[in-house]
A = this chain, B = another copy of it.
Amino acid sequence: MSEPIPPSDLFKEQLLNSLRRANPRISTIRVPKHNRVYSAGDQDKMIYIIESGQIKLAALSREGRECLLGIRIVGDLFGESCLSELGTRLETATAMENSILKRVPCETFLKYLSSDTLLLNGFLQYLAERIAEQQQVIVDLMTINSEYRLGKALLQLGDKLGKKYPSTIRIEHRISHEELSQIVGTTRPRISEFMQKFRALGLIEMSAEHFLIIKKNRLADYLARVT
């Protein structure tokens, strides 16, 4: 059912190498936890690559409701929206941890790409994967209920952020119900209830430090069973 999108890990390595090699004076910036890299509405024609840390991308709706659009981790790239003519950021990028980023002007980035076919192909693949990913999110929002979406979101978060053990995944990072509600697209109280339920069913656990432990297979099985 839910097709895992293969990560373009190769591209990430290539890109980081290429940046280091090609131009040692590319600027590196440090963004402390909870600080913003850019905000919706900013004029910012930069592309960012994560050296360390985690960045969350979120958009605000008209009524001020926040939507979490994605999380980027080491090796990931973000800010690619500046490739479009629209010079304005549509989303806000916030550091979830102290992060170190490479920052490349869009123009420069384009030069790299046209000078290196391998890099170019990797980047195109990266964009195509983003599109496929978003497409799946749209289908999910249109067709499945919040409980299922929450389950799926937990599995994906685990994949992205978690430490993998044989049959469990441990996310060593506290994720509030509020944040989950912004990922899933529902209200906080509902997330509380669902999480409660998942815990009762033995699909997830909370560690002593309040880290989330996901029982991968059991949760996946549960999701396959429910409508």
Binds B, one of A97-105, A139-147, A209-217: A139-147
Tell me, yes or no, whether A17 is within 8 Å of chain B by CB: no
Q: How far is the CA of A106 from the CA of B80 in the complex (A)?
A: 22
User: Distance (Å) between the CB of A68 and the closest chain B CB?
Assistant: 9
Partner of A114, one of B120, B128, B140, B141: B120
Q: Taking the full assembly, how many copies of this chain does it contain?
A: 2
Tell me, yes or no, whether A65 is within 8 Å of chain B by CB: yes
Please report which residues of chain A, range 41-79, place their CB below 8 angstroms from some CB of chain B when the two chains form the complex: 59, 61-63, 65, 67, 69
Q: Are A127 and B127 in contact (CB under 8 A)?
A: yes
A127-161 near B? 1/0 per residue, CB < 8 Å: 11111101111111111100000000000000000
Q: Are B137 and A62 in contact (CB under 8 A)?
A: no
Tell me, yes or no, whether A195 is within 8 Å of chain B by CB: no
A residues sitting closer than 8 Å to B (CB atoms) are 1, 3, 5-6, 8, 59, 61-63, 65, 67, 69, 80-86, 88, 90-91, 110, 113-114, 117, 120-121, 124-125, 127-132, 134-144, 185, 227
Partner of A62, one of B59, B117, B144, B185: B144
Q: Are A86 and B117 in contact (CB under 8 A)?
A: no
Q: Are A81 and B132 in contact (CB under 8 A)?
A: yes
A contact face: mostly helix, strand, loop, or mixed = helix
- With a cutoff of 8 Å between Cβ atoms, the chain B residues found around residue A140 in the complex are 61
User: Distance (Å) between the CB of A196 and the closest chain B CB?
Assistant: 23
Write 14 A-B pairs (CB below 8 A) sorted by A numbering: A6-B85, A61-B142, A62-B143, A83-B128, A85-B125, A90-B136, A110-B121, A127-B128, A131-B131, A134-B135, A138-B138, A141-B185, A142-B185, A143-B185
- With a cutoff of 8 Å between Cβ atoms, the chain B residues found around residue A114 in the complex are 114, 117, 120
Q: How far is the CA of A90 from the CA of B5 in the complex (A)?
A: 11
Q: Are B142 and A85 in contact (CB under 8 A)?
A: no
- With a cutoff of 8 Å between Cβ atoms, the chain B residues found around residue A137 in the complex are 138
Partner of A90, one of B3, B67, B121, B127: B3
Q: Are A131 and B125 in contact (CB under 8 A)?
A: no
- With a cutoff of 8 Å between Cβ atoms, the chain B residues found around residue A8 in the complex are 84-85
Q: How far is the CA of A91 from the CA of B135 in the complex (A)?
A: 9
